[in-house]
Structure 1
Amino acid sequence: MTAALELGGLRVDPPVVLAPMAGITNAAYRRLCAEYGAGLYVCEMITSRGLVEGDETTKRMLVFDELESVRSVQLYGTDPTYMAKAAQILCAEYDVAHIDLNFGCPVPKVTRKGGGGALPWKRGLLARILEATVAAAAAYDVPVTMKTRKGLDDDHLTYLDAGRIAQEAGCAAIALHGRTVAQAYSGEADWDAIAALVEHVDIPVLGNGDIWEAADAVRMVEETGAAGVVVGRGCLGRPWLFRDLAAAFSGTAETTLPTLGEVTAMMRRHAELLSEHMGEERGCKEFRKHVTWYLKGFRAGGELRRSLGLVDSLASLDRLLAELDPDEPFPVGELGSPRGRQGAPRSRVVLPEGWLDDADGSDCVLREDANETTGG
């Protein structure tokens, strides 16, 4: 049995974290995943500047389900002052219990401004941001963690230095996605890098990358010594994965694969929760993006899939779901296969001019957008 994850005074048992994903991990999806298993479920990433300046888009993202007793938010930013102020707002006004900082996003519109996965190259700036944010959250006894990647590319690795800086700044843990920024979501995650970081720091390390099944999570922990796992794309269309993860970390080896009937019940529940939080019309539109993930590998016909992708009410969803065969077994051929975005590695990482010339960046000043939304 794997020990619970301790983040300051916050206990996470089993040591499983739902990764924040833009447009995915809203209050409805977090609630749905939590209904299948315990763990920590992180809100979509928000920007520090957007929060501090009262941006309406940012505030709309900070919605929590009524049963969400442990509020966790991922914060993005490049300015220590904004990050500290945003952390203070999250703690004082939104009653969050955990703040995660995004230094892993590989999206060009973010890295070209020095943010996300590009920022750890500037060791001095990273330290200033972490120290300021940890200090602001410490006044409320709220733990701060950080998420990062191996580095910009194989020639510009940053994760070991980032781990040391996170530890010295007082972070409660560091999560490492075992890919570089250049890889984005392509190729395979490097679990050896996660193991190396575990050996390098004394704070808990969470492993992220290529966890498609519960067995993958257990194997990652066993092979790397990680204190827990962060699950992102593997749970798309599969909120029940958290049930399997909870069972696996408790020592139960069995995996319960849902029939198509059980999957349609999850789909209906997901759309229902979205409708409760957003209103039925918007909630059903938000649900459309999940249809392909839920039905991946099942025999649902193309016309039915297209109709589900245009659903605009719970009643129409019910009519369409009734056309599916509830007894169809789960397509075992899909087990272990990648889900969500993948793509190809980038030939180069888009960075600010002269970014690589100075690896310290103690005096670096960056401007961030108020409504940046992405994931790492």
Structure 2
Amino acid sequence: MDPAPSLKIGPYAVDPAVVLAPMAGITNVAFRQLCREFGSADSLYVCEMITARAVVERDAKTMEMITFGEGERPRSMQLYGVDPKSMAEAVRIVVGEDRADHVDMNFGCPVPKVTRKGGGAALPYKRRLFRQIVRAAVRAAEPAGVPVTVKFRIGIDDEHLTYLDAGRIAADEGAQAVALHARTAAQRYSGEADWTAIARLKEAVTNVPVLGNGDIFSAQDALDMVAKTGCDGVVVGRGCLGRPWLFGELQAAFRGQPPPPPPKLGKVAEILGRHGALLADHLGEEKGVRDLRKHMAWYLKGFPVGSELRRSLAMVGTLAELDDLLGRLDHDAESPVDAEGPRGRQGSPAKVVLPEGWLDDPEDDTVPLGADVMHSGG
């Protein structure tokens, strides 16, 4: 077996070289803690996306979202922004108030409400503006020694690829690593990720680590991505939905150890209960248990669970009720053979909605109007 990749981001040795991708409504402090309990404390677990302008405006909901667990180090925060000034100010607040140890920047969001204003995956097309935003963040973080990394997609669509320029620019401006979700914005989460693009980015960007993201649903997928692309680490998103133990499998795989056995339904029930308790601690019992509902289908995917019990679990309201319902599951049921397949949103490819004239001049550095949104979380 080839040696596992070695990854350093600023002062942090990331071992194994695994990053939990920020996911809206998912990667709160409770889910991150659960993933860390299975994986390595030295991997990176990134919080939900935080909007730069919302930090500057000290939006109450956003400041509440910037929550890290006791002993959670390094604290990884992902920031979204389209304006160099607000990005610089947000980073100054984050590092000046010691709210994070690592800042990742999001230029990969394909959602129409974001791209139609010129944000997310649309923005790297504007090379000068992209450069200015990365430069602003890096310079604001430098005095505190906080590393900045940048995540982006292949491009807007097959005719407008931006990732090679984005990678070179980010590295030139002092980003400590770049991560590529190997899909275009037009693909959204559909089809297959193009891992050959990760290999091309690795060839083009030689002075900072290159991380690969897209279609890692098992530990073997991660090993295959590293072998095929030469990337310095992997970013895991949808593959861990309802499967936080994937981080334990990844750790074993990268260290050349035998994989832990897949959990039977009884173990899954135990993990679900733990997840519910962590969410209750974080959000209060009512909100926490309600938040757990969206995870049910992912945890129970492929297991023999009757429709009535599934429905009850999807509507669970208290920790006591959760405990009772989990006790009714067949605890000896084996892990389903298809447990490692795609999960989470996939959707269909679609034309990317852009501001009028967006593609006319890639050197235009005008800050897009209305894209500097206040809503954190994605």
Residues in 2 aligned to 1:361 and 1:306: alpha-carbon distance in whole angstroms: 52
Task: Note if contact 2:117-2:368 (Cα within 8 Å) is conserved in structure 1.
Answer: no
CA offsets per residue over residues 128-186 of structure 1, 9 Å max, x none?
00001000011110110011000000000000000110011000010000000000000
Indicate the residue corresponding to 2:377 in structure 1: 373
| Aligned with residue 61 of structure 2, among 49, 57, 67 | 57
User: In structure 2, the residue corresponding to 1:124 is in which secondary structure?
Assistant: helix
User: In structure 2, the residue corresponding to 1:303 is in which secondary structure?
Assistant: helix
Indicate the residue corresponding to 1:112 in structure 2: 116
User: In structure 1, the residue corresponding to 2:121 is in which secondary structure?
Assistant: helix
Residues in 2 aligned to 1:227 and 1:99: alpha-carbon distance in whole angstroms: 18
Report the Cα offset of residue 269 of structure 1: 0.3
Aligned residue runs from structure 1 range 198-213, under 5 A: 198-202=202-206, 203-213=208-218
| Aligned with residue 233 of structure 1, among 214, 231, 238 | 238
Residues in 1 aligned to 2:195 and 2:257: alpha-carbon distance in whole angstroms: 24
Report the Cα offset of residue 11 of structure 1: 1.3
Greater CA drift, 85-94 or 233-242: 85-94
Report how many residues are paired: 372
Fraction of identical pairs, as percent = 58
Partner amino acid, structure 2, of 1:8: G
Task: Note if contact 1:237-1:291 (Cα within 8 Å) is conserved in structure 2.
Answer: yes
Report the Cα offset of residue 255 of structure 1: 4.4
Report the Cα offset of residue 95 of structure 1: 3.3
Indicate the residue corresponding to 1:327 in structure 2: 332
User: In structure 1, the residue corresponding to 2:180 is in which secondary structure?
Assistant: strand
Report the Cα offset of residue 90 of structure 1: 1.2
Residues in 1 aligned to 2:73 and 2:179: alpha-carbon distance in whole angstroms: 23
Partner amino acid, structure 2, of 1:34: R
Residues in 1 aligned to 2:356 and 2:53: alpha-carbon distance in whole angstroms: 23
Query: What value does the CA root-mean-square deviation take over the aligned residues?
Result: 1.0
List, as ranges, runs of 4+ consecutive aligned residues in structure 1 with deviation greater than 6 Å. none
Indicate the residue corresponding to 1:166 in structure 2: 170
Aligned residue runs from structure 1 range 289-304, under 5 A: 289-304=294-309
Greater CA drift, 357-366 or 134-143: 357-366
Partner amino acid, structure 2, of 1:6: K
Report the Cα offset of residue 362 of structure 1: 2.5
CA offsets per residue over residues 112-138 of structure 1, 9 Å max, x none?
111110000000000000001000011
Partner amino acid, structure 2, of 1:319: D
Indicate the residue corresponding to 2:10 in structure 1: 8
| Aligned with residue 262 of structure 1, among 267, 274, 286 | 267
Gaps of 5+ in 2: none
Partner amino acid, structure 1, of 2:354: L
Q: TM-score, normalised by structure 1?
A: 0.97
CA offsets per residue over residues 320-345 of structure 1, 9 Å max, x none?
0000011110001233x110000110
| Aligned with residue 348 of structure 2, among 331, 335, 344 | 344
Task: Note if contact 1:103-1:146 (Cα within 8 Å) is conserved in structure 2.
Answer: yes
- Structure 1 residue 281 and structure 2 residue 283: aligned? no
| Aligned with residue 138 of structure 2, among 134, 137, 162 | 134
| Aligned with residue 47 of structure 1, among 30, 46, 51 | 51
Aligned residue runs from structure 1 range 17-56, under 5 A: 17-38=19-40, 39-56=43-60
Indicate the residue corresponding to 2:365 in structure 1: 362
Report the Cα offset of residue 109 of structure 1: 0.4
Indicate the residue corresponding to 1:82 in structure 2: 86
Task: Note if contact 2:82-2:367 (Cα within 8 Å) is conserved in structure 1.
Answer: no
Gaps of 5+ in 1: none
Task: Note if contact 1:148-1:176 (Cα within 8 Å) is conserved in structure 2.
Answer: yes
CA offsets per residue over residues 283-318 of structure 1, 9 Å max, x none?
100111000000000011111111111111110001
Residues in 1 aligned to 2:126 and 2:53: alpha-carbon distance in whole angstroms: 20
Report the Cα offset of residue 254 of structure 1: 2.8
Indicate the residue corresponding to 1:98 in structure 2: 102
Indicate the residue corresponding to 1:191 in structure 2: 195
Greater CA drift, 359-368 or 120-129: 359-368
CA offsets per residue over residues 186-219 of structure 1, 9 Å max, x none?
0000000000000001211100000000010011
Residues in 2 aligned to 1:196 and 1:69: alpha-carbon distance in whole angstroms: 32
Indicate the residue corresponding to 2:73 in structure 1: 69
User: In structure 2, the residue corresponding to 1:75 is in which secondary structure?
Assistant: strand
Q: TM-score, normalised by structure 2?
A: 0.97
Task: Note if contact 1:79-1:366 (Cα within 8 Å) is conserved in structure 2.
Answer: no
Residues in 2 aligned to 1:373 and 1:9: alpha-carbon distance in whole angstroms: 27
Residues in 1 aligned to 2:189 and 2:316: alpha-carbon distance in whole angstroms: 29
Report the Cα offset of residue 361 of structure 1: 2.0
Change (3 A) 1:253 1:215: farther
Residues in 2 aligned to 1:219 and 1:47: alpha-carbon distance in whole angstroms: 34
